[in-house]
Amino acid sequence: MHLSEKAVLLFEIELMFYHLGRYIILIGSTLSKPEKLSMYWKETARQMNDIGVGSLLIVALVSVFIGAVTAVQFAYQLEGSSIPPYYIGYIVRDIMIIELAPTFTCLALAGKVGSNMAAELGGMRQKEQIDALEVMGVDTSAYLILPKLLAALVVIPMLVVMSAFTGMAGGYMACVFGKLVTVTEFMQGLRSFFEPYNIFMMQVKSIVFAFILTSISCYQGYYVKGGSIELGKASTAAVVLSNIMILLADYIIALMLT
């Protein structure tokens, strides 16, 4: 390895730890005690509406088609085997609850909600609105980020639950209308071998993923410097980093809880 390559590698490592440290400091400041709870509540309610209601359609569409494709693919794998047909409903239910609902929902929300948060905070930073709030003595990290974080931690697990049920409905429609199995067989699969622990695992994933996509997106927007090009790069980085960290967290949680 040439000297220049070593220098670039060291610089990238140093930059990574710099951003990690600044991210931890920002989150610590964000989670500090708010000064006026009523002011935070109004903004939190607004964010809950934006994240929840604004994401219902995309979450429903993604979930329906994921559930339908899962059912069709598993039915294809069962052709010529001795596995009972009702296992299609069983597999669709468990894979939606354990993996597809929390992961795909949060990946989709990282692209929609995360980029929007980064762009919103980045625009405020560029217009010097954040600087003006800091001059007035406002804790801008808590005032601007905490409501978004609280709203995401409340609403996104609800969206994940809706995604799981919508995915099962998509699998039902694909199986019944596509004549893969009968209604009775699919419903038997949905009721078979149910483990309540899977619901707990789904909610753990949804809460962790919600924190990841919200905090990373807010971090990228909060520290934007420059003009519109830098704001676009920050929005893109928010989506990319959120998706990578969600997938990494998914793997770690799977190792810990299964």
pTM of the model: 0.89
Confidence (pLDDT) at 66: 92
Task: Tell me the per-residue pLDDT of 142-154, one tens digit each, with 9 for 90 and over.
Answer: 888 888 999 999 9
Confidence (pLDDT) at 34: 61
Identify the residue with better confidence: 85 or 68.
Answer: 68
Confidence (pLDDT) at 36: 67
Give me the mean pLDDT over the 235-244 stretch: 91
Identify the residue with better confidence: 68 or 180.
Answer: 68
Q: Rounded to whole angstroms, how far apart are CA atoms 26 and 61?
A: 35
Query: Cα angle vertex 223, ends 221, 225, to 5°?
Result: 100
Which residue reads 């934007």 in tokens?
224
Confidence (pLDDT) at 33: 66
Give me the mean pLDDT over the 209-223 stretch: 92
Q: Rounded to whole angstroms, how far apart are CA atoms 111 and 210?
A: 13
Out of 51-55, 72-76, 125-129, 164-168, the most confident range is 164-168
Q: Is residue 3 pLDDT above 70, yes or no?
A: no
**Where are the alpha helices (H) located in the chain, listed in sequence order?**
3-30, 37-52, 56-78, 87-95, 101-109, 115-126, 129-135, 140-177, 183-191, 196-222, 228-257
Q: List % helix, strand, coil for the chain (3-state, nearest 5).
A: 85, 0, 15
Identify the residue with better confidence: 11 or 103.
Answer: 103
Give me the mean pLDDT over the 50-70 stretch: 90
Identify the residue with better confidence: 7 or 157.
Answer: 157
Q: Rounded to whole angstroms, how far apart are CA atoms 104 and 65?
A: 11
Q: How many CB atoms lie within 10 A of CB 152?
A: 32
Task: Tell me the per-residue pLDDT of 176-209, one tens digit each, with 9 for 90 and over.
Answer: 888 888 888 888 888 888 888 999 999 999 999 9
Structural contact between residues 209 and 130, judged by C-beta atoms closer than 8 angstroms = no
Task: Tell me the per-residue pLDDT of 82-120, one tens digit each, with 9 for 90 and over.
Answer: 788 888 888 899 999 999 999 999 999 998 888 889 888
Mean pLDDT, the chain, integer: 86
Give me the mean pLDDT over the 232-243 stretch: 90
Out of 6-10, 20-24, 109-113, 201-205, the most confident range is 201-205
Confidence (pLDDT) at 21: 85
Q: How many CB atoms lie within 10 A of CB 81?
A: 9
Confidence (pLDDT) at 35: 62
Q: Is residue 48 pLDDT above 60, yes or no?
A: yes
Q: Rounded to whole angstroms, how far apart are CA atoms 153 and 167?
A: 22
Amino acid at 238: A
Tell me what percent of the residues of the chain surpass a pLDDT of 70: 95
